[in-house]
Amino acid sequence: MPATQRNGREGLQMLLKGNPVSGGIAIGKVYLYKAFSCDVHEAYYEKGEKTQKLAEWESAKEAARAELTAIADSFTRDGAADKAKIFTAHIDMLSDEEIDEMVREGIENDCAMPDYAVDKTFAEFIRIMGKVKNPLIAARAADLRDIRNRLIRILHGEPERNLSLLSEQVIVVAHDLLPSDTATIDRSRVIGIITEVGGPTSHSAIIARSYGIPAVLGVPDATKVLCDGALAILDAAEGAVRICPDGETVAAFQAKKAEYDRIQAETAAFLTAESLTKDGVKIDIGVNIGSDQNVEYENCDFVGLFRTEFLFMQNDHLPTEEEQFEAYKRVLEKAGGKPVTLRTLDIGGDKSLPYLELPKEENPFLGKRAIRLCFDLPELFETQIRAALRASVFGKLWIMLPMIGGMEDIRRAKETVVKVKAELDARQIPYDKDVRLGIMIEIPSVALIADLAAGEVDFASLGTNDLCQYTCAADRMNPGVSEYCRSLSPAMLRIMGMAASAFNQAGKPISVCGELGGNPDAAVLLVGLGIRKLSMSASCIAGVKRRLSQITLDQAQKAAAQAVNLPTQEEVLRCASEAGDRN
């Protein structure tokens, strides 16, 4: 139960606890975010209400048009013409006479309630669209679904909730944020994130960190206890949320925030520095990205993880080969010759695609995820590899395969790459012959045979988020078991150390691209274990460079050698934080 305390002036103060996943302090109004669930029942109105029901339909259309115009205008103002176009197309569809006629007929002739008439009409159009072979036309079914949901929401009297269209700075409170919600989040107005589920390596946490938005996840009942518009303080260092704080508490946290911002500003000075240990050993710093937007490549040496699934999640259809090619080309060009590690599609687990029907699984994180799904959908996999290879001539491409469990998976994926290359050769389509092919080490079964894997691939990257989830048998999304997800346990250090040694011995690069790579103290131990490449969210780069400048290689190695023999994670953390000289 949350702790409460009566506050004479402002109401009931409360303290909620959760997982601190992205540092910082936010003080602001709560914005309750709930994705609309389009629940419609077959229902009919009483005789004599026809005029009123027809009027409800007319005003719902008007309200939808007004909302859509506001969205399109705001995108146009922000220079996002592409996005604006989607919504002007929705306005056009809203004026479709056939749709209007069918809805009116349902209301007038069958006495259907307006929401039911809308649902029935759109279901018919969506069905017809869905059958069309041309993917561009089929994709319009997703637009129709969007318009239907908007109309039904308006008819149900529910306000619009959209994280990309906020009028003021807010702390977003949600049960969970889907990657598709966070992909379009308004970064200038969302000053904090609170969710009921999710741990430090869930995707909402990763996004929050990459955007530098303070976040506390796994706060039980947050959406029930926090109400829209209430004042809240989110302290992401402490993992605490204070609701309806009194003036004194607000003042105290304003001071704490000022101090936090001061330290951040001091650390920011390291952002542009070269990443060297105190004794001058170069550690390559990579950045993890989800798209080509808002990425500054100047402060890093490579792109250690390009999560291509974001391109798929931001779309309402499977991106075509051409769309993928353009997106990959943009990233490669912007990276200006620095290696770009493009990870092939990692869907499944907590990431789904609205337009791709996948069988329901009891344990999706242990199911058909990432490369396993790609094996089931060879056309999708080949299209992505083809798009990536074609784009490779515009930069330095490394292709990375996620969720590799053993040599079988490596060989099977390689067959696809070989096949696609042969096709491109036959069609005389150019691609870079030096594209490297590597794997994520995020399943213990492949970490344990890292020496064999190193003989078969060009490089590897430790996906510490999943490696921890699968090594510790603790769901990365379940806040109830986050204490068991011990990413810096001696067991994790040993398994990572094993993989690092195997690849180092084979003379093949190995990096870390999971969230541990962006944790300054963990970086010390990883360097000590033999890792020379760390990739992270952009917001972590300055902190890691600063910490690395405080240790010598010898100190890092000694700390790592000591840490692997410590009994608990707590002791490992202490050992890491004490290494070198903090300044």
Question: Closer CB to ligand PEP, residue 22 or residue 465?
Answer: 465
Judged by beta carbon distances under 5 to 8 A according to partner kind, the member of Mg ion, ligand PEP, none in contact with residue 307 is ligand PEP
Q: CA 254, CA 25: separation in Å to the nearest integer?
A: 9
Question: Closer CB to ligand PEP, residue 57 or residue 306?
Answer: 306
Q: CA 176, CA 170: separation in Å to the nearest integer?
A: 16
Count of residues binding Mg ion (CB under 5 A)? 3
Query: Angle at Cα 176 formed by Cα 171 and Cα 177, nearest 5°?
Result: 70
CA 359 to chain centre: 22
Structural contact between residues 308 and 344, judged by C-beta atoms closer than 8 angstroms: yes
Q: Which of 463, 497, 517, 530 binds Mg ion (CB under 5 A)?
A: 463
Question: Closer CB to ligand PEP, residue 147 or residue 305?
Answer: 305
Judged by beta carbon distances under 5 to 8 A according to partner kind, the member of ligand PEP, Mg ion, none in contact with residue 383 is none
Question: Closer CB to ligand PEP, residue 115 or residue 442?
Answer: 442
Residue with tokens 């204490």: 483
Residue from 539, 535, 491 nearest 400 by CA: 535
Centre a 10 Å sphere on the Cβ of residue 79 and count the other Cβ atoms it contains: 9
Q: Is 466 in the site for Mg ion (CB under 5 A)?
A: yes
Give the active site residue among 203, 472, 540, 575: 203
| SS3 label, residue 245 | coil
CA 233 to chain centre: 24
Question: Closer CB to ligand PEP, residue 206 or residue 447?
Answer: 206
Q: CA 448, CA 570: separation in Å to the nearest integer?
A: 25
Judged by beta carbon distances under 5 to 8 A according to partner kind, the member of Mg ion, ligand PEP, none in contact with residue 464 is ligand PEP
Residue from 123, 116, 215 nearest 173 by CA: 215
Is there a catalytic annotation at residue 203? yes
Please measure the distance between the N-terminal and C-terminal CA atoms of the chain and give it in whole angstroms.
Answer: 40
Shortest Å, Cβ 504 to ligand PEP = 20
Beta bridge mates, 161: none
Structural contact between residues 350 and 202, judged by C-beta atoms closer than 8 angstroms: yes
Judged by beta carbon distances under 5 to 8 A according to partner kind, the member of ligand PEP, Mg ion, none in contact with residue 19 is none
Question: Closer CB to Mg ion, residue 170 or residue 353?
Answer: 353
Structural contact between residues 484 and 472, judged by C-beta atoms closer than 8 angstroms: yes
- DSSP letter (8 states) at residue 407: H
Give the active site residue among 374, 468, 485, 513: 513
Question: What is the gyration radius of the CA atoms in the chain, in angstroms?
Answer: 26
Give the residues lining the site for ligand PEP (CB under 6 A). 206, 305, 307, 346, 442, 463-466, 513-514
Question: Closer CB to ligand PEP, residue 385 or residue 477?
Answer: 477
CB-nearest residue to Mg ion: 466
Judged by beta carbon distances under 5 to 8 A according to partner kind, the member of Mg ion, ligand PEP, none in contact with residue 218 is none
Centre a 10 Å sphere on the Cβ of residue 494 and count the other Cβ atoms it contains: 16
User: What is the DSSP pairing of strand 25-33 with strand 231-235?
Assistant: antiparallel
* Token pair listed for 245: 């704080």
Shortest Å, Cβ 43 to ligand PEP = 43
Q: CA 562, CA 554: separation in Å to the nearest integer?
A: 12
Question: Closer CB to ligand PEP, residue 307 or residue 390?
Answer: 307
Q: CA 556, CA 524: separation in Å to the nearest integer?
A: 5
What backbone torsions phi and psi does residue 232 show, to the nearest 5 degrees? -140, 155
Q: CA 211, CA 21: separation in Å to the nearest integer?
A: 12
Shortest Å, Cβ 350 to ligand PEP = 9
Question: Closer CB to ligand PEP, residue 206 or residue 485?
Answer: 206
Listed in sequence order, the DSSP H helices in 437-513 are 444-447, 450-456, 464-472, 490-505
What backbone torsions phi and psi does residue 290 show, to the nearest 5 degrees? -115, -15
> Which of 531-558 are b and which e, b meaning 16 or more Cβ less than 10 Å from the residue's Cβ?
bbbbbbbbbbbbbbbbbbbbbbbebbbe
Binding mask 427-456 for Mg ion (x = CB under 5 A): ---------------x--------------
Structural contact between residues 329 and 431, judged by C-beta atoms closer than 8 angstroms: no
Shortest Å, Cβ 466 to ligand PEP = 3
Q: CA 51, CA 42: separation in Å to the nearest integer?
A: 20
Is there a catalytic annotation at residue 156? no
Per CB under 5 A, residues contacting Mg ion are 442, 463, 466
Q: Which positions are catalytic?
A: 203, 513
